[in-house]
């Protein structure tokens, strides 16, 4: 394992795709193995990005803020798990470039699910409201979601159990020597 190497593990996907579920499972597996922090998009909006709306500019600024905090932590040896919709490819790529410039590994994980699955999981009914035109600027309905073109991993949360996606991501971290080979097994 590369000693004291922090990293940014960026989980992106539409609302309800399973980013928070997978990120919490990852955090639980990595806790005690190495320093790890979770930056969840909903929590970040409450504390770090309060006052930002849902315009494209505000969403991109939100991603930049998350990226800057993640980079600060990773530069000090922390494995940072980010779980955020981060709908625009350009802003995710900007964070990737910032990390590369500082020598910090950036790994993007696309949490993918069909719109039908997302609607079925949506206990608040947000997708139905957005499809009915009641919620403006809803990612994937009335605002774009730009899927990653070449993520390091894809997790199909509507077609596989959480444990399968969890193991795929852990194995990716092991192969990149960001975890000991026997860690989090």
Which of the residues are catalytic? 86
Average pLDDT, the chain: 92
Collapsing DSSP to helix, strand or coil, 79 comes out as: strand
Instruction: Choose among 61, 65, 26, 17: nearest CA to 173.
Output: 26
| 15 appears as a binding residue in the annotation | yes
pLDDT-derived band at 185, boundaries 50, 70, 90: low
Place of tokens 């932590």: 73
pLDDT-derived band at 145, boundaries 50, 70, 90: very high
* pLDDT of amino acid 183: 57
* pLDDT of amino acid 8: 98
| 117 appears as a binding residue in the annotation | no
| 18 appears as a binding residue in the annotation | yes
| 20 appears as a binding residue in the annotation | yes
In 20-102, where do the E strands start and end?
36-40, 79-83
CA dihedral 14, 64, 48, 130 (to 10 degrees): -30
The tens digit of pLDDT for each residue in 55-111 reads 889 899 999 999 999 999 999 999 999 999 999 999 999 999 999 999 999 999 999
* pLDDT of amino acid 47: 78
The tens digit of pLDDT for each residue in 161-179 reads 999 999 999 999 999 999 9
Confidence check: pLDDT of 1 > 70: no
pLDDT-derived band at 44, boundaries 50, 70, 90: confident
| 67 appears as a binding residue in the annotation | no
* The domain made up of 7-175 is a member of CATH 3.40.50.300: yes
| 98 appears as a binding residue in the annotation | no
The domain segmentation of the chain, as residue ranges, is 7-175
Confidence check: pLDDT of 52 > 70: yes
Q: What is the mean pLDDT of residues 120-140?
A: 92
| 16 appears as a binding residue in the annotation | yes
* pLDDT of amino acid 184: 53
* Residues in Cβ contact with 113 at an 8 Å cutoff, skipping those fewer than 6 apart: 13, 14, 16, 17, 18, 121, 156, 157, 158
């Amino acid at each position: 394992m590369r000693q004291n190497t922090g990293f940014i593990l960026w989980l992106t996907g539409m609302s309800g795709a399973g980013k928070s579920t997978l990120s919490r499972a990852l955090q639980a597996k990595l806790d005690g193995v190495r320093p790890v922090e979770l930056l969840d998009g909903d929590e970040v909006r409450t504390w770090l990005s309060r006052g930002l709306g849902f315009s494209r500019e505000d969403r991109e600024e939100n991603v930049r803020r998350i990226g800057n905090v993640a980079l600060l932590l990773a530069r000090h040896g922390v494995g940072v798990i980010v779980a955020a919709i981060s709908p625009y490819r350009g802003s995710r790529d900007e964070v990737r470039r910032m990390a590369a410039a500082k020598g910090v590994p950036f790994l993007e994980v696309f949490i993918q699910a069909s719109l039908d699955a997302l609607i079925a999981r949506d206990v608040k009914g947000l997708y139905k409201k957005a499809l009915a035109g009641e919620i403006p600027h809803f990612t994937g309905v009335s605002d774009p979601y730009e899927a990653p073109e070449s993520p390091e991993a894809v997790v199909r949360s509507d077609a596989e159990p959480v444990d399968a996606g969890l193991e795929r991501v852990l194995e990716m971290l092991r192969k990149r020597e960001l975890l000991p080979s026997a860690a989090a097994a």
